[in-house]
């Protein structure tokens, strides 16, 4: 016996419905009716089918069963960037909440790519999910219309208005970002920088606008540099903010990942956080408490967001005419050790 023969399985690699039908002595359609409960089958016949399924180790295709029933036991989740710690934490909460209502989840990652976003939506529709949580704001109107026509319950993140089959979760950026600006101002910082993500994203524009308005209300004006939502983008943007005749003394980043990059840039410039440059992030991902020093950040709770997204999908399914709702999620400032009185002011106070 050859090595290949020794490790070969004793049954075909993929058991098909027709194999079960042949073993049970029935038609493939009868096997389908037993699996999906779509038609009465004599008890004795049903028992033969179930025994054949067990003997052969047949596992029906999830997609095929969804086609028969018209809907699967899946909730879809579309995210932007699986490498951003914000999203794995969100996935974990969303999955736990979905399991609590008897559903599993199917996950799609757009990587901020419009073509991939189209493919993600089409995959969700092909799998006949019970609902989709679109936890990214880069959703094109064409795709929103596609989901609307399919009458799939959808909850969006910072995108669109509540409508039939569609709910929307909006974030109260004001509560957290305004507190962050006031915190830096009260410490004595007057040269504040903001690292923004590309303005194509609605949530990005909102974070920047709230920061600038909050600072203007206090009499200040922000220096703004654009990053790419990733650590490398934060690093390069921070380097620009620290250059010039009057470098900033405090930086806020549009997300924690870019704040991590900014921390590297500050250290690389031979400066200390928070003694010479204060730093604030946004999201409060798990790693933000583990940096040196621990990062002051604005918290956008993944626990609340994930649970709210599943609850919103459930509410659409139960609502008359499947009307969606608008939900609001608050943010809050978490003060840690990356912010302090600016060095010049601290020296004056000690002299």
Domains defined for the chain, CATH in brackets: 3-60 (1.10.260.40), 74-172+302-330 (3.40.50.2300), 173-300+334-350 (3.40.50.2300)
State the pTM of this model: 0.77
pLDDT at 206: 92
Between CA 89 and CA 208 the distance in angstroms is 24
Q: Give 167's strand partners.
A: 155
Query: What is the reported pLDDT for 36?
Result: 66
pLDDT of residue 297: 98
Q: Which residues contact 66 (CB under 8 A, 6 or more apart)?
A: 72, 74, 127, 128
Write down the pLDDT at residue 140: 83
Q: Are 129 and 75 in contact (CB under 8 A)?
A: yes
Q: What is the pLDDT of residue 8?
A: 36
**How far does Cα 32 stand from its chain's mean position?**
36
Token pair recorded at residue 313: 């999908």
SS3 (DSSP) at 330: strand
Cβ-based neighbours of 134, under 8 Å, separated by 6 or more: 78, 154, 155, 156, 157, 159
pLDDT at 344: 65
pLDDT score of 348: 43
Q: What is the pLDDT of residue 306?
A: 97
CB under 8 Å to 338, separation ≥6 — which residues? 263, 273, 274, 278, 279, 280, 291, 293, 294, 295, 296
Q: Which residue has the tokens 């736990």?
A: 96
Q: Residue 146: CB partners within 8 Å, gap ≥ 6? A: 121, 125
Q: pLDDT (tens digit, 0 to 9) for every residue of the chain, 351 residues total?
A: 332 333 234 444 467 788 888 999 998 888 877 776 667 788 888 889 888 888 887 766 554 554 444 556 889 999 999 999 999 999 999 999 999 888 899 999 998 888 899 999 999 998 889 999 999 877 888 888 889 898 999 999 987 678 999 999 999 999 999 999 999 999 999 999 999 998 887 888 999 999 999 999 999 999 999 998 899 999 999 999 999 888 999 999 999 999 999 999 999 999 999 999 999 999 999 999 999 999 999 999 999 999 999 999 999 988 888 999 999 999 999 999 999 999 864 444 444
Sequence-distant (6+) residues with CB within 8 A of 106 are 74, 75, 76, 77, 123, 124, 127, 129
Structure tokens at 270: 């031979």
Q: Looking at the chain, list the stretches that DSSP marks H as alpha helix, in order from N- to C-terminal side.
A: 3-7, 17-24, 28-36, 43-56, 62-69, 86-100, 114-126, 141-150, 173-187, 202-217, 231-241, 256-268, 302-318, 343-350
- Cα–Cα distances (Å) from 314 to 27, 325, 335, in that order, read 37, 11, 35
């Amino acid at each position: 016996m050859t090595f290949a023969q020794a490790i070969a399985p004793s049954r075909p690699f993929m058991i098909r419905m027709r194999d079960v039908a042949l073993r049970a002595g029935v038609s493939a359609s009868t096997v389908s009716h037993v699996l999906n409960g779509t038609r009465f089958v004599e008890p004795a016949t049903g028992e033969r089918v179930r025994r054949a399924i067990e003997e052969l180790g047949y596992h029906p295709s999830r997609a095929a069963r969804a086609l028969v029933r018209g809907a699967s036991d899946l909730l879809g989740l579309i995210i932007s960037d699986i490498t951003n710690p914000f999203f794995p934490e969100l996935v974990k909460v969303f999955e736990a909440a979905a399991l609590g209502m008897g559903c599993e989840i199917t996950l799609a990652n757009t990587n901020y790519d419009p073509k991939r976003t189209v493919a993600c939506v089409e995959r969700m529709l092909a799998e006949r999910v019970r609902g989709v949580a679109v936890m990214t704001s880069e959703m094109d109107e064409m795709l929103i219309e596609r989901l609307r026509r399919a009458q799939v319950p959808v909850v969006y993140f910072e995108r669109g208005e509540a409508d039939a089959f569609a709910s929307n979760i909006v974030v109260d950026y004001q509560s957290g970002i305004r507190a962050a600006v006031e915190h830096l101002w009260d410490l004595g910082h007057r040269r504040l920088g903001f690292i923004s993500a590309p303005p194509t994203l609605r949530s990005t524009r909102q974070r920047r606008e709230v920061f600038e308005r909050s600072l203007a209300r206090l009499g200040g004006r922000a220096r703004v540099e654009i990053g790419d939502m990733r650590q490398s983008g934060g690093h390069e943007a921070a380097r620009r903010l620290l250059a010039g005749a009057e470098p900033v003394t405090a930086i806020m980043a549009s997300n924690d990942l870019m704040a991590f990059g900014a921390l590297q840039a500050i250290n690389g410039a031979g400066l200390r956080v928070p003694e010479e440059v204060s730093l604030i992030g946004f999201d409060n991902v798990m790693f933000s408490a583990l940096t040196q020093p621990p990062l002051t950040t604005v918290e956008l709770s993944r626990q609340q967001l994930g649970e709210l997204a599943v609850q919103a999908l459930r509410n659409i399914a139960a609502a008359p005419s499947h009307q969606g709702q608008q939900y609001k999620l608050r943010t809050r400032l978490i003060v840690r050790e990356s912010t302090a009185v600016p060095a010049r002011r601290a020296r004056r106070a000690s002299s």
